[in-house]
């Protein structure tokens, strides 16, 4: 169990919070008078027809297909805006029974309208056509996409905004999809962090996580032809400004610390990392983590998440030898991270009826979200030297890359359309408007020179071992030929030892192209640093040292890494 007395999450929640609850969000800053223009025209809001057969997602382009200039892109930084989507949940039956009215108007795909002057508990007036009559008109908010999430088809449309984050992750960049909103607004449902295992195999899976897994493993099937891939997962919760490991054997009881590497990367020390090779494994790990996640029941939600949950995917991609001849050298060793974040719901603690520990939890949740709001306000100010208070909370430190850092980010604001939740919904829309002004700086992540060198040394040793095997086989063949009277069989050229090969790798400084040059242009010509291994490759791979290698040729596995993706 996670820290704190509570009951655990169900495998798949079927209901959301009562529409009669309200919550308080940070409304200290008003929305901008001039809304940020939409990034791109959105697709039609009409529900998509159910396909007769399950649609197979198109494979994500492998890094070798990424459009890039021929020069080294190691220092290229691209500025990109945080994308913001609004997910409007349906008006629930309980809300209708208690007389709640739907006050959220979605007339076009990138705009939501809310009445001005309405206050919590008031009753709006409608004309005969069902249009709301408010004296001071409607307030409009523009975003990248606004959707009423009432079907799996709409969930699929919402996920289309998350696709660039997943694609960037596959190409060696960081990505993040984050769900924010009041308690019971549908964040966990939208993210799919509590989805049942069957959802990962559904014709149209609901939720960001199941759809991400489908797209990601489609990419892996394509990329394994060129890369040795290692994919790992972490699952942590931030509860009362402390970090707990949801996948640890002790049930997430031990607190973990945050540290920062020399490169500026934030990491959680001692967190459990699990190798994954299928979507089913993700489903199982989510179920394990959710059983340890802290939840509780109060007046606004029967199963309210009392912690912020962060599912992190970490991927290392190491070039295969034959692919290194056709893929640009700055794409040979890639490392990336994808955060899928389900934030705890903001709430007005007095409305929840919480007391004791539950009351303290609510205060802690709002404090963490308040600090997140301070970070967003600082980033949205646009000031070049504005101090950003990332260190004020564990949550903001973990999300420092995702907001204002090196990341492709989608921020999903989940709102309720009920009139009784007017203040909370308006606060969420203002919050999301500020997020939309944040600019991130994307830069492709590559492994350190030391890691590249270690990998290349391992390749040299494995190729040397293969060369030794073929040398022994060659000696056996010469002996057999001599027995039948065949003479003048050429001797194998003398090969350099492994230490010489390692020295040449070190001299190359981790640059894979010079290493290959040394392999093919040593004192023995095509044998080079690897001795007979180059000839062995020519025989086994169907190539010569001067010609291109055939795709799908056999090569040794990487020297290290457990559970890595190999073909």
Nearest Cα to Cα of residue 179 among 416, 410, 347, 342: 342
CA 534 to each of CA 228, 458, 537, 567: distance values in angstroms, whole numbers, following the listed order: 21, 16, 5, 22
Count of residues making up the chain: 567
**386 known ligand binder:** no
Which tokens in the block code for residue 49? 């027809």
**252 known ligand binder:** no
**185 known ligand binder:** yes
Backbone angles phi, psi at 5, to 5 degrees: -75, 120
Neighbours of 474 (CB within 10 A): 17
Q: How far apart are CA 525 and CA 36, in angstroms?
A: 62
Neighbours of 45 (CB within 10 A): 16
Decide if 255 contacts 243 (C-beta within 8 A): yes
Nearest Cα to Cα of residue 334 among 137, 172, 212, 527: 172
Q: How far apart are CA 390 and CA 392, in angstroms?
A: 6
Q: How far apart are CA 492 and CA 474, in angstroms?
A: 8
Contacts (Cβ under 8 Å, ≥6 apart) of 541: 322, 549, 550, 553, 554, 555
Backbone angles phi, psi at 358, to 5 degrees: -65, -40
DSSP 94-143: HHHHTT--B--EEEETTEEEEESS--TT---EE-TTS-EE-TT-EEEEE-
Helix pair 449-483, 533-541: axis angle to 10 deg? 80
Q: How far apart are CA 254 and CA 408, in angstroms?
A: 31
Decide if 85 contacts 411 (C-beta within 8 A): yes
Nearest Cα to Cα of residue 248 among 222, 268, 227: 268
**182 known ligand binder:** yes
**187 known ligand binder:** yes
Decide if 419 contacts 103 (C-beta within 8 A): yes
Q: Which segments are annotated as binding site? A: 181-188
Q: Which segments are annotated as binding site for ATP? A: 181-188
């Amino acid at each position: 169990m996670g820290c704190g007395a509570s009951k655990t999450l169900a495998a798949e929640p079927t209901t959301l919070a009562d529409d009669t609850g309200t919550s308080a969000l940070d409304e200290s800053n008003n929305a901008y008078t001039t809304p940020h223009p939409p990034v791109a025209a959105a697709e039609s809001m009409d529900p998509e027809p159910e396909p007769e057969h399950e649609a197979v997602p198109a494979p994500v382009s492998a890094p070798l297909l990424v459009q890039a200039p021929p020069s080294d892109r190691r220092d290229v930084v691209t500025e990109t805006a945080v994308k913001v989507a609004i997910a409007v949940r349906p008006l629930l039956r309980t809300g209708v029974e208690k007389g709640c009215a739907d006050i959220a108007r979605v007339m076009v795909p990138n705009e939501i309208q809310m009445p001005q002057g309405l206050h919590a508990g008031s009753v709006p007036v409608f004309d005969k056509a069902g249009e709301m009559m408010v004296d001071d008109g409607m307030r409009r908010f523009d975003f990248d996409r606004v959707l009423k999430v009432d079907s799996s088809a709409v969930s699929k449309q919402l996920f289309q905004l998350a696709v660039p984050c997943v694609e960037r992750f596959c190409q060696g960049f960081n990505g993040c999809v984050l769900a924010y909103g009041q308690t019971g607004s549908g964040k966990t449902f939208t993210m799919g962090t509590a989805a049942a295992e069957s959802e990962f195999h559904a014709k149209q899976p609901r939720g960001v996580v199941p759809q991400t897994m489908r797209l990601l493993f489609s990419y892996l099937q394509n990329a394994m032809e060129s890369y040795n891939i290692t994919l790992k997962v972490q699952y942590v919760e931030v509860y009362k400004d402390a970090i707990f490991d949801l996948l640890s054997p002790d049930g997430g009881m031990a607190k973990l610390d945050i540290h920062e590497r020399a490169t500026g990367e934030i990491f959680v020390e001692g967190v459990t990392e699990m190798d994954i090779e299928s979507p089913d494994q993700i489903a199982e790990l989510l179920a394990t983590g959710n059983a340890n996640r802290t939840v509780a029941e109060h007046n606004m939600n029967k199963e309210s998440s009392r912690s912020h949950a962060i599912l992190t995917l970490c991927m290392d991609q190491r070039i295969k030898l034959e692919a290194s001849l056709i893929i640009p050298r700055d794409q040979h060793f890639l490392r990336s991270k994808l955060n899928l974040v389900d934030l705890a719901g903001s709430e007005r603690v007095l409305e929840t009826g919480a007391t004791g520990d539950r009351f303290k939890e609510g205060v802690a949740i709002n404090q963490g979200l308040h600090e997140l709001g301070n970070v967003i306000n600082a980033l949205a100010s646009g000031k070049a030297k504005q101090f950003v208070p990332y260190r004020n909370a564990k949550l903001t430190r973990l999300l420092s890359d995702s907001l204002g850092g090196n990341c492709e980010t989608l921020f999903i604001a989940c709102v309720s359309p009920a009139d009784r939740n007017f203040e909370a919904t308006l606060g969420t829309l203002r919050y999301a408007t500020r997020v939309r002004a944040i600019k991130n700086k994307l830069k492709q992540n590559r492994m350190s020179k030391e890691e590249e060198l270690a990998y290349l040394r391992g390749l040299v040793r494995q190729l040397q071992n293969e060369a030794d095997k073929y040398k022994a086989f060659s000696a056996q063949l010469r002996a057999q030929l001599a027995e039948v009277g065949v003479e003048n069989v050429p001797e194998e050229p003398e090969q350099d030892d492994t230490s010489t090969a390692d020295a040449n790798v070190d001299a190359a400084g981790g640059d894979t192209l010079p290493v290959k040059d040394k392999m093919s242009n040593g004192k023995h010509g095509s044998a080079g640093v690897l001795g007979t291994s180059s000839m062995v490759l020519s025989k086994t791979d169907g190539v010569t040292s001067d010609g291109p290698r055939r795709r799908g040729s056999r090569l040794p596995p990487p020297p290290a890494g457990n559970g890595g993706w190999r073909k």
